[in-house]
Amino acid sequence: MPTQIETQRKSYPSDLSDAEWGLVESMVPKPKRVGRPVKYSRREILNAIVYVLRTGCSWRQLPHDLPPWLLVYLYFRAWRRDGTWDRIHEKLRGDLRVAEGKQRRASAGILDSQSVKTTGKGGSMGMTPARKSTAANALF
């Protein structure tokens, strides 16, 4: 159900296509029945979040034809806290793995020990103290 605001603006390259929206629509929380009437659709809010993520702009620099930055940020934060982003990520990753002919979930993980930098010594003994110059102290 597009709102009047949503139908008036030109689309951005970051906007979700109908197919992309169809994949995630069921996982995005529905508006509550109580309280203020909905002014922006969930799709439009998600379009604004994706705009920030793809362009790297700050929340306050959202274009004026998208929902207000504070509203978009509050939804982003609430969906992060309630696990919505994790559920979307799990579903999309699983769908991609199935499309590649793999099992939905990975059956093993790989750890690369060479990518972890460490020293032979551990703890506080592994750190060398700062050296003080005795020549500089002798002048005063």
Q: Stretch 1-21: mean pLDDT, rounded?
A: 77
Predicted confidence band of residue 109 (pLDDT cuts 50, 70, 90): confident
What single letter denotes the amino acid at residue 17? S
Could you tell me which of 24, 19, 21 has the C-alpha nearest to residue 86?
24
Q: Give the C-alpha separation, 48 to 41, whole Å.
A: 11
Chain center to CA of 116: 25
| 22 has a pLDDT exceeding 60 | yes
Note the maximum CA span of the chain: 80
Q: Does this model's pTM top 0.85?
A: no
- Please write the tens of the pLDDT for every residue from 121-136: 655 655 666 666 666 6
| Domain ranges (residues) in the chain | 4-99
Predicted confidence band of residue 8 (pLDDT cuts 50, 70, 90): confident
13-17, 63-67, 83-87, 103-107: which has the minimum mean pLDDT?
103-107
Q: Give the C-alpha separation, 44 to 53, whole Å.
A: 14
- Please write the tens of the pLDDT for every residue from 91-106: 999 999 999 999 998 8
What pLDDT, on a 0 to 100 scale, did the predictor assign at position 112? 73
Q: Stretch 57-67: mean pLDDT, rounded?
A: 94
